[in-house]
Amino acid sequence: MPVITIDNKKIEVTAGTTVLKAALENGIYIPHYCWHPLLSISGNCRMCVVEIEGRPKLEVSCNLVAADGMVIKTDTPAVKKMRKSVLEFLLINHPIDCPICDQAGECLLQDYHFKCSGQASRFKEEKVHKSKVVDAGRHIKLDNERCILCTRCVRFCQEVVKEPELTVAIRGDRSFITTAPGKTLDNPYSLNTVDICPVGALTSKDFRFKKRVWFLKSTPSVCPHCSNGCPIWIDHADEIMYRWRPRQEIEKVNGIASSQLTGNTILCDEGRLSYGEWQSDTKISKPLMLEEGEHKEISRAEAVLKLNKILSKDMKEIIAVLSAQISCEEADAFVKFLREKAGTDKIYRSGRAPLNPTSDDIIRKADKNPNISYLEKMGLRELPANIEGDVLFVTDSLSKDDILKTANLKWKSIVQITHDKRLIVPGAEIILPRATFAESEGTFVNFNGVKRKFSPAFKPAGEARTIAGWIPFLEEGITGVMSFLRKQESSDRLI
């Protein structure tokens, strides 16, 4: 394998690796705009120049294959001067509208200017004006004056999504990005162009002007929208989620970086925009009880007393359906409770019925549940048709088919732990509020067995807690011994 030296650091690289990739993988940062790990090399921005010992001119590192013995310097006076010149050219026609640009705080033009240049503009002439705030598609606004023509967005549509929706029109300093004739930027992965745009040319209509990025906190999590379970950042402030972004994983799975296994550095628009579903007005924050056909809020103590009435009389046949929306930890704890305390082995699996069962061979999976693999591995079978019992426990939700299976049967009671009123199973008598994946920690196992952990972005709303957190109260309901409840009344919530 070739051995090269970058800034006095000896690095062994795989044959064929470019200098830029070798540097980035070894913690040496070379500024760059047009290069992106998912895309072909364009080499148009010239920002990634480096000096090679023994060669007369600076060379672009993104398109330079590392050769054995190569000695590379990334920060010499000549390299610095070149970067400064590239930035000066890029800024000649740029509107420098950072105070009103939604990219401020995560803009590579802004960052590199401060890091590599810092000089005031010497350009006194009229700037070239181009189209601004154009609707490029359902989710995207395009501002051509801010664009640096790196063509990442064009290549992303062509090479990753295979939908050539964007193109570069005209030549020279009048060039601009536009939608191809008869097309709009509406592919199912269009919002990734906002992530990969290094400047504020492409912005998300959903996120524009909602929050300055420096007010956001980012929590590592997992997209629960389908069984691909993509790693995400939840960007949030004041217990509100503002956006989800793709997260590059660094942890290894069986010695291989898991992003290499899955290629997940993108998100589908459908999953990315589903964050709103988790904070709708229909979110449940207090226990609910069915009274005269309506679900009314009750206290936790009332809920436990009602559970006691439902569970503690004669021998009951309890059936439970675990949703593939719950975490591995919740599933383990609930199954243990059902077997050891509730005395039942009639435990099945279900899931959220997809509103829109879209799938493709990029990342979207038709199964819209993030933890189906784990429930299958636990040996839980699908709910049989016409199953009967006295009490039906439902965690999170039932699929449409499973609702039909239970709808015509005379359940004495249905107890459900869920986070949203829209998921309540018709006839459910007691609903306990469930902490969502954004409010708790846990693990999902995706369709091909990759485990991913998620962390709480903020605390659960009101009385909500995880399924594991509700188990002591369910045990109280079964035993009728209210000591745990009394202890908990005055203490902090378990989550």
Pairing of strands 318-323, 391-395: parallel
Least separation in angstroms between residue 109's CB and ligand FES is 13
The answer to whether residue 47 forms part of the interface with ligand FES (CB under 6 A) is: yes
Q: Whose Cβ is closer to ligand FES: residue 130's or residue 155's?
A: 155
Q: Whose Cβ is closer to ligand FES: residue 61's or residue 158's?
A: 61
Least separation in angstroms between residue 453's CB and ligand FES is 33
Which letter, b or e, does each residue of 122-142 get, where b requires 16 or more Cβ atoms within 10 Å of its Cβ?
eeeeeeeebeeeeebbebbbb
The answer to whether residue 90 forms part of the interface with ligand FES (CB under 6 A) is: no
Q: 467-479 vs 328-340: helix axis angle to the nearest 10? A: 10
Window 27-46: contact mask with ligand FES (x via CB under 6 A) = -----xxxx-------xxxx
Window 206-225: contact mask with ligand FES (x via CB under 6 A) = --------------------
User: What distance in Å separates the CA atoms of residue 380 and residue 158, rounded to the nearest whole number?
Assistant: 42
396 and 419 in contact (C-beta within 8 Å)? yes
Q: Whose Cβ is closer to ligand FES: residue 90's or residue 431's?
A: 90
Q: Which residues pair with 347 in a beta bridge?
A: 320
Site for ligand FES in 449-478 (CB under 6 A): none
Least separation in angstroms between residue 60's CB and ligand FES is 4
Q: Whose Cβ is closer to ligand FES: residue 43's or residue 95's?
A: 43
Q: Whose Cβ is closer to ligand FES: residue 91's or residue 338's?
A: 91
The answer to whether residue 62 forms part of the interface with ligand FES (CB under 6 A) is: yes
Residue in 39, 48, 149, 425 binding ligand FES, rule: CB under 6 A: 48
Nearest by Cα to 411 from 317, 270, 297, 346: 317
Q: Whose Cβ is closer to ligand FES: residue 50's or residue 232's?
A: 50
Q: Whose Cβ is closer to ligand FES: residue 41's or residue 305's?
A: 41
396 and 323 in contact (C-beta within 8 Å)? yes
Site for ligand FES in 234-263 (CB under 6 A): none
The answer to whether residue 156 forms part of the interface with ligand FES (CB under 6 A) is: no
User: What distance in Å separates the CA atoms of residue 247 and residue 229, rounded to the nearest whole number?
Assistant: 11
Least separation in angstroms between residue 246's CB and ligand FES is 20
Least separation in angstroms between residue 57's CB and ligand FES is 14
Count of positions on this chain that bind ligand FES (CB under 6 A): 12
Part in contact with ligand FES (CB under 6 A); list of ranges 26-34, 128-136, 245-253, 334-342? 26-34
Nearest by Cα to 39 from 263, 369, 346, 284: 263
Least separation in angstroms between residue 120's CB and ligand FES is 25
Least separation in angstroms between residue 147's CB and ligand FES is 14
Take residue 392 and report the two structure tokens written for it: 């039906």
Other CB atoms within 10 A of residue 60 CB: 22
Residue in 4, 11, 23, 60 binding ligand FES, rule: CB under 6 A: 60
Least separation in angstroms between residue 55's CB and ligand FES is 16
Q: Whose Cβ is closer to ligand FES: residue 62's or residue 417's?
A: 62
Q: Whose Cβ is closer to ligand FES: residue 175's or residue 344's?
A: 175
Q: 300-311 vs 467-479: helix axis angle to the nearest 10? A: 60
User: What distance in Å separates the CA atoms of residue 131 and residue 118, rounded to the nearest whole number?
Assistant: 27
Radius of gyration of the chain measured on its C-alpha atoms: 28
Least separation in angstroms between residue 67's CB and ligand FES is 18
Site residues for ligand FES per CB under 6 A: 32-35, 43-48, 60, 62
